[in-house]
Structure 1
């Protein structure tokens, strides 16, 4: 995409100086601005951990002194604030030390002023100590220690957005895409990679199993691998190579569905390879007909070796469009997938056939639930 007016989270199609269209991919509603609290805590946590731990120890001691001498001003539940700060900035062993210290100080403060103490605040502090330990242990298991770990997650999210940018196309073509994560989470298991070389463009839309942070990390790793494979292999070898890569990773949730679209922009000839993915839809402007490219075969990636994708070919005439999407748009509890696809086709007919509608309009028209990640790509020959 052209460098001007780039913002990986706004999700609007932009016109380049050449008249071509590019797209920006939506991964979450969170903008790039950081509040002053984030900056202060991040800078604080970047220093030596013993210093940060010592500061929290001193603050805990001062608060305990206040709780003993002025219980009406310093409630025992105030220790929870110190625990929350520690959970954000401290690594595991220091966090354990802070939790133990806070538990002891809370008990001492309560016993020093028995007339002002009630079981309720002590129980709340005890529950907070347990929750912080569980949270800190999980972050330590994932290698996300302190504020730098949170910053790493932000970087992973942004890399997914950057990797999903679509290239600018010549006059006569337009393309845009949108990716939305489940419940507006910061990570999505749906992603796309694209490459343009001369008059050829290739777009791959992938749906990694699972959702949330775990799916986002797998999606980032797979996105990097597919970006390297795209263009380095012929069309017929791309999805089988991606399948081999997934099998070698041996992930617990190691499968993904994918659709691979290759278009010759000079002639409109296209090829579509499908691996366990919902079938793409092609709008034929001349007849107003919408064709579902539901070819036989194409097992999901990472399931069996020797996978061969289901391949369909065709030609896009002026006004025709190809719509790629993930199952989050057509699957819902209590609704058959075929019904979901029929509903999507109705939206495509209303939005894309009647006017040059965008991927955002398709997504909005489907009104899919937010329990799953969702992605749409619309490529049109004008």
Structure 2
């Protein structure tokens, strides 16, 4: 078995950071809220004593640190208790120092505004049932799961494939995603590239929900009924602006025969080594997913022989405000032409990096070639 290479955008890779490291601390803190409240009130008392004792050495910023930390780890009702104590401490400190500390009133106003902001943030977190940094950890996990679903399974030595994903303006979430599956007997590879309406983080939540559903359908449904099942699923969701485009290919890894179907998606490009030319696979056209009930999605047949390649892509690769789609396709194929002699490794990432839409749209490319 040759190792299949799956390329993911450099801007999409996030190393584990402080948020992830705090995950083990979060559950313990949530189970002991009153202990935390007492701890924060003690900190408020110590900060007040320090400011009064050394007004020129201890800044008002220590209150701001307590405000932010308490806002991250406490639910709204417990947070209010700490902030009431903090507000009283501000009043006592201001009265005790008088003119002895510079910018007393201004610092107090800023601290109160910070308290109001953190109360709003804590309330927003409580509405979705998360406290502290657990919400960010959940988003990181969901994003990583979405990326993992786009990793291609290992392929036989005579086949290679790559995936490249880029989100609009480098956001962590994108409306484009890829799901892939290989049959239990190892003979068939199925790949679906999906473009959810919207872009960047606005489409991220819909991508997360839809990728799980389509990943479950892939390999379980027949290749002829995959797009119909995906369309029915979107119709049941009843999203506002809940449509998506998709291209689905089922490839026989022994014979090289494949079928491909589209749901309102740009046509894939195939390179034929025999003729040395690219051609667009414009058959198998169907409507957008989630728009028309009982839609029909025909399939186009093809074959990948030795030296041939197949390129799937999203509209961000070819669309440009000042160019036609034809110009965008010609531009993409021109970039791909330079890989014909040296091999198609790295082509997916190159097409994403040099897409017609630039950084302003999500881009996704899948390349499959037979050596």
Question: TM-score over 0.5 for the alignment?
Answer: yes
- Aligned-partner Cα distance in 2 for 1:221–1:318: 37
Q: Sort the Cα spacing of 1:196 and 1:78 in 2 relative to 1 into closer, same or farther, 3 A.
A: same
Contact 1:45 1:147 in 2 (8 A): no
What's the CA shift for 1:202? Answer: 0.5
Question: 1:179 matched to which residue of 2?
Answer: 165
Residues 164-243 of structure 1: pairs in structure 2 closer than 5 A: 164-197=150-183, 198-211=186-199, 215-243=203-231
2:63 to 76, 79, 82: 79
Q: Sort the Cα spacing of 1:371 and 1:303 in 2 relative to 1 into closer, same or farther, 3 A.
A: same
- Structure 2, unaligned stretches of length 5 or more? none
Q: Residues 78-125 of structure 1, C-alpha deviation per residue, up to 9 Å, x if partnerless?
A: 322222222332233333444444444334433432312424323432
What's the CA shift for 1:295? Answer: 4.1
Deviates more, 1:339-348 or 1:366-375: 366-375
2:43 maps to 1:54: no
Question: 2:308 matched to which residue of 1?
Answer: 320
Contact 1:204 1:261 in 2 (8 A): yes
What's the CA shift for 1:24? Answer: 5.0
Question: 2:244 matched to which residue of 1?
Answer: 256
- Aligned-partner Cα distance in 1 for 2:320–2:62: 44
- Aligned-partner Cα distance in 2 for 1:204–1:43: 38
Give the SS at the match of 1:146.
Answer: coil
2:350 to 349, 361, 370: 361
- Aligned-partner Cα distance in 2 for 1:107–1:356: 69
What's the CA shift for 1:264? Answer: 1.4
- Aligned-partner Cα distance in 2 for 1:156–1:185: 14
- Aligned-partner Cα distance in 2 for 1:142–1:182: 26
Q: Residues 20-62 of structure 1, C-alpha deviation per residue, up to 9 Å, x if partnerless?
A: 4242544723113558974685476354222223222221232
Contact 1:22 1:167 in 2 (8 A): no
Contact 1:111 1:117 in 2 (8 A): no
What's the CA shift for 1:379? Answer: 0.5
2:363 maps to 1:379: no
1:157 to 121, 140, 143: 143
- Aligned-partner Cα distance in 1 for 2:89–2:318: 54
- Structure 1, unaligned stretches of length 5 or more? 1-17
Task: State the structure with more CA Rg.
Answer: 2
Give the SS at the match of 1:110.
Answer: helix
Q: Sort the Cα spacing of 1:207 and 1:65 in 2 relative to 1 into closer, same or farther, 3 A.
A: farther
Question: 2:94 matched to which residue of 1?
Answer: 110
Q: Sort the Cα spacing of 1:51 and 1:331 in 2 relative to 1 into closer, same or farther, 3 A.
A: farther
Question: 1:146 matched to which residue of 2?
Answer: 132
* Residues matched between the structures, number: 365
Q: Residues 157-195 of structure 1, C-alpha deviation per residue, up to 9 Å, x if partnerless?
A: 222222222111112110111223333333333221111
What's the CA shift for 1:322? Answer: 1.0
